[in-house]
Amino acid sequence: MIKLKEAARTARTGAADVSQTVRDILADIEARGDEGARDYAARFDAYDGPVVMDADAIAAASARVPQKLRDDIAFAHDNVRRFAEAQKTSMRAFDMELRPGLTTGQRLIPVSAAGCYVPGGRYSHVASAIMTVTTASVAGVPHIAVASPPGPEGIAPAIVHAAHLCGADAILAMGGVQGVAAMTYGLFGLPQADILVGPGNQFVAEAKRQLFGRVGIDMIAGPTDSLILADATADPEIVAVDLVSQAEHGYNSPVWLVTDDRALAEAVMDRVPALIADLPGTNGENAAKAWADYAEVILCDGREEMARESDRIAPEHLTVLAEDLDWWLSTLTAYGSLFLGEETTVSFGDKASGPNHVLPTSGAARYTGGLSVHKYMKVVTWQRATREGARPVAEATARISRLEGMEGHARAADVRLAKWFPGENFDLSAAE
């Protein structure tokens, strides 16, 4: 394995320490409630308008969305909804008789309230509204709130339209830590969120990290990252365009090209600078910094080494532009979402193709997947027994408990056996 281009920095390099700032803001808002959240909205968003959008404001915002964009949002929503519905059917409630007289089971219960953060600011993340709200709705969450940073005239109309279409019960014109806090603490008349989901900047990510435990979260997200596995059959123009398209997310968004063909690698590296230069404004600036400081081009000896290198990195997005796609599908094990072949691309997944785009970053794909309908569901268990069915369980419980030194547990079994089977002698001493 040879690095033809090595990253000078990683997604964790030079990250600002925002922990104390976030801690202070959360504590202040919890203490002062709505007033505190409004103060931070005025300070950070320069916004002092209505926080919770009413039906008229939502309708007015939707009316400003061009019909073609409405159609595109509906198309994306339908794909995400149908995929989430299929995911939901992969889990099921059940009951089973483990032993005669001992019945156990599983239930799937949606959380009561979800808080979905939808980034605004530099980019209006319409797709994030679709991804987070739709999956919560399919899961059956009774109350879904959306918080998104407003501009001078409020939230971007397309975000409002998408959130409403996908099933949001409340839409808050409030971003950053204050938006996360409002959903968590149940401000502005909202129920307290049971789970917070959705991408955001480093302050939003840190707020979710600090609140985890008090509420559930989808994941702690770092800068978005993408890796392309490509062999000699790949089109270097498509490879280069796909890398640049992901680098535009931010100045610290890592991208990797892993290949076993030097000619392809060199052709891609030759094309990237011109593609970046052709991007408008901050898009090009972000992509240029990401490519210069965070991108890597890795030359491997064959596809087996390519696959091992990909699994080591565990990217958020993984694209395969190579022969024998079935081999890659069966071999690769660590990624947030996999895109097989030229006919797919991360951009499709980011916006409209169906599988969720809220995915693990910074190598977290080694141990977790992305946002899905399952994240909103509690998998809980239950049990019921006849007295005869519970008898051997009680005997085993008493003996194991005494072996562990937990006499109170043992006596909870003893008292039942004595009541149910009076006069019988049980050997309930610790197992030896």
Same domain for 207 and 192, yes or no, is: yes
Question: 104: part of which helix (H) or strand (E)?
Answer: strand 102-110
For residue 196, what are the β-bridge partners? Answer: 115, 217
Instruction: List the one residue out of 224, 409, 233, 199 whose CA is nearest residue 320.
Output: 233
Question: Which pLDDT score is estimated for 12?
Answer: 57
Same domain for 140 and 95, yes or no, is: yes
- Do the beta carbons of residue 210 and residue 21 sit within 8 Å? no
Global pTM?
0.92
The residue with tokens 């969305």 is 65
Detail the DSSP E strand segments found in 278-388: 296-299, 317-321, 337-340, 377-385
Instruction: List the one residue out of 281, 279, 282, 259 whose CA is nearest residue 269.
Output: 259
Same domain for 57 and 174, yes or no, is: yes
What is the band of 8 on the pLDDT scale with cuts at 50, 70, 90? confident
Mean pLDDT of 45-73: 96
Same domain for 200 and 293, yes or no, is: no
Asked whether residue 164 carries a pLDDT value surpassing 90, the answer given is yes
Q: What is the pLDDT of residues 97-132, one digit of tens each?
A: 999 999 999 999 999 999 999 998 666 789 999 999
Asked whether residue 198 carries a pLDDT value surpassing 60, the answer given is yes
- Do the beta carbons of residue 254 and residue 11 sit within 8 Å? yes
Radius of gyration of the chain (CA): 26
Q: Does some domain include residue 46? A: yes
Counted residue by residue, the chain has a size of 432
Percent of the chain with pLDDT over 70: 97
Average pLDDT, the chain: 95
- Of 77, 143, 317, 357, the catalytic one is 317
Asked whether residue 4 carries a pLDDT value surpassing 90, the answer given is no
Q: Kindly report which listed range (16-20, 260-264, 334-338) carries the lowest average pLDDT score.
A: 16-20
Q: Which two tokens stand for residue 331?
A: 């071999």
Mean pLDDT of 266-276: 98
Phi, psi of 207 (to 5 degrees): -60, -45
Q: Does some domain include residue 25? A: no
3-state secondary structure of 400: helix
Q: What CATH number is associated with residue 307?
A: 3.40.50.1980
Question: Which pLDDT score is estimated for 120?
Answer: 87
Q: Which two tokens stand for residue 400?
A: 């194991």
Mean pLDDT of 31-57: 96
Asked whether residue 265 carries a pLDDT value surpassing 80, the answer given is yes
Question: Which pLDDT score is estimated for 14?
Answer: 47
Q: What is the pLDDT of residues 343-365, one digit of tens each?
A: 999 999 999 999 999 999 999 99
Question: Which pLDDT score is estimated for 378?
Answer: 96
Active site includes 125?
no
Q: Which two tokens stand for residue 117?
A: 């953060």
The residue with tokens 């979402």 is 337
Question: Which pLDDT score is estimated for 352?
Answer: 96
- Of 206, 248, 296, 316, the catalytic one is 316
Active site includes 304?
no
Domain extent at residue 204: 33-218+374-378
Between 124 and 325, the more confident residue is 325
Same domain for 151 and 207, yes or no, is: yes
Q: Which two tokens stand for residue 150?
A: 């407003």
How many domains are there within the chain? 3
Same domain for 167 and 94, yes or no, is: yes
* Helix axes of 407-420 and 387-404: crossing angle, nearest 10 degrees: 150
